C-alpha cells in the first residue's frame, strides 16, 4: 500500500525553511546595505556577492570593507575579523552538543552556516533538531544574505557619483545603528564603545599607527580591561541565555 506521507527529509527541511523566513528578510535588507557599500568601497559586484556567499557573517564583512577602503593590509583585516567572530566558536560548541550529529558531512555542512540568528532558532527549537531542518534553515538564511548582496550591488551601480561619495559615511551609520540598541539596554556599552573610540583615535592620530592595527589593539585592550572590570554579568550573553531557556 502506498503511503501519502512525505519523506522526513522534505518535511524537516520545509519546516527549517519556514523557521528561516524571518532570518531571510532580516538578512536580505542588511545585505542590500552591504552590497551598496561594498561597491562604493571599490569591490567588483562579483567580489561582493562572493564575499557574502563564502563568509556569511554580518558585522565582520562590513568591518572588512571599511578596512579595505582604508588601505589596511590583509593580516590586519583577517585578525580583526577573527577577533570579532570568536563567538562563533562558542556558538558552534553549544550547537554541536544540541544537534549531536554523528556523520561528518552533516557536521561539515552545518558548521558553514552557524550565525547568531541560526544559532538562536536552532537552539531554542524544542526536542531533536535534524540535519534536514538545519539544511532548510541555513539554506534560506544563506540565500537571503547572498540575494540581498546581489540586489545591493545592482542598485549601487546605478547611483550617481555624488550619492556614492555620501555613501562612504553609510558604513559608519550602520555601525551606529548596530550600537544604539545596545546603548538603549544599558549604560555599560557607552563606556566600552566610548573607550574604544577614544583609544583608537589616540593611536591613529597621536601614535600614527595604521588604521587596521590600531583597531586590533583597541579591540583587544579595551575588551580585556572591560572583562576584568565589569565582572558581574549584567546580562547573560546569547549562548547562556539560549541554554538557560532550554533547561
Partner 1 sequence: MNKIMIIILACAAANYLLRVLPFFISAGDNIPAYFKRFLDYMPVVALGALIFPGIITSFPQNPAAGIAGVAAAAMAAWFFEGLILPVFASIGVTWFMLQYL
| Region 29-88 residues binding partner 1, contact defined as CB under 8 A | 29-30, 32-33, 42-43, 47, 50-51, 54-57, 59-60, 63-64, 66, 68, 70, 74, 77-78, 80-88
The minimum distance between CB 48 and partner 1, in angstroms, equals 9
- Determine if 139 is a binding residue for partner 1 (CB under 8 A): no
Of 211-240, which residues contact partner 1 (CB under 8 A)?
211, 214-215, 218-219, 222-224, 226-228, 230-231, 233, 237, 239-240
Of positions 8, 10, 21, 108, contacts partner 1 by CB under 8 A: 108
- Contacts to partner 1 from residues 192-211, by CB under 8 A: 192-201, 204-205, 211
27 binds partner 1 (CB under 8 A): no
- Sequence-separated contacts (24+) of 49-52 with Cβ below 8 Å: 49/146, 49/149, 49/150, 49/153, 51/149, 52/145, 52/146, 52/148, 52/149
- Least CB distance from residue 125 to partner 1, whole Å? 18
| Spatial separation of the C-alpha atoms in residues 210 and 117, rounded to whole Å | 33
17 or 192: CB nearest partner 1: 192
With H, G, I as helix, E, B as strand and everything else as coil, classify residue 186: coil
Residue span 165-194 as binding mask against partner 1, x where in contact by CB under 8 A, dash where not: xxxxxxxxxxxxxxxxxx-x----x--xxx
- How many residues sit in the footprint of partner 1 (CB under 8 A)? 99
| Separation CA 31–CA 56 (nearest Å) | 10
SS3 102: coil
DSSP summary character for residue 31: H
**Cβ neighbour number for residue 175 with a 10 Å cutoff:** 15
Angle at alpha carbon of residue 219, lines to 97 and 233, rounded to 5°: 55
Q: In terms of CB distance, is 87 or 125 closer to partner 1?
A: 87
Site membership for partner 1, residue 157 (CB under 8 A)? no
DSSP 32-46: HHHHHHHHHTT--HH
Amino acid at each position: 500500500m502506498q503511503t501519502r506521507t512525505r519523506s522526513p527529509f522534505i518535511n524537516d527541511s520545509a519546516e527549517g525553511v519556514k523557521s528561516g523566513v524571518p532570518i531571510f528578510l532580516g538578512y536580505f535588507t542588511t545585505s542590500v546595505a552591504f552590497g551598496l557599500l561594498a561597491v562604493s568601497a571599490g569591490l567588483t559586484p562579483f567580489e561582493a556577492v562572493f564575499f557574502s556567499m563564502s563568509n556569511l557573517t554580518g558585522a565582520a564583512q562590513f568591518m572588512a570593507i571599511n578596512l579595505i577602503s582604508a588601505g589596511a593590509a590583509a593580516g590586519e583585516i583577517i585578525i580583526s575579523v577573527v577577533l570579532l567572530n570568536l563567538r562563533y566558536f562558542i556558538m558552534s560548541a553549544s550547537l554541536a552538543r544540541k544537534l549531536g550529529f554523528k556523520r561528518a558531512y552533516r557536521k561539515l555542512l552545518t558548521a558553514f552556516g552557524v550565525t547568531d540568528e541560526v544559532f538562536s532558532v536552532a537552539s531554542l527549537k524544542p526536542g531533536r533538531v535534524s540535519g534536514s531542518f538545519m539544511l532548510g534553515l541555513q539554506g534560506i538564511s544563506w540565500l537571503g544574505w547572498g540575494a540581498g548582496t546581489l540586489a545591493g550591488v545592482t542598485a549601487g551601480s546605478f547611483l550617481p557619483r555624488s550619492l556614492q561619495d555620501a555613501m562612504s559615511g553609510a558604513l559608519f551609520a550602520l555601525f551606529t545603528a548596530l550600537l544604539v540598541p545596545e546603548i538603549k539596554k544599558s549604560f555599560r556599552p557607552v563606556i566600552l564603545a566610548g573607550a574604544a573610540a577614544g583609544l583608537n583615535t589616540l593611536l591613529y592620530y597621536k601614535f600614527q599607527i595604521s588604521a587596521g592595527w590600531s583597531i586590533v589593539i583597541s579591540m583587544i585592550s579595551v575588551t580585556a580591561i572591560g572583562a576584568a572590570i565589569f565582572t558581574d554579568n549584567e546580562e547573560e550573553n546569547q549562548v547562556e541565555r539560549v541554554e538557560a531557556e532550554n533547561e
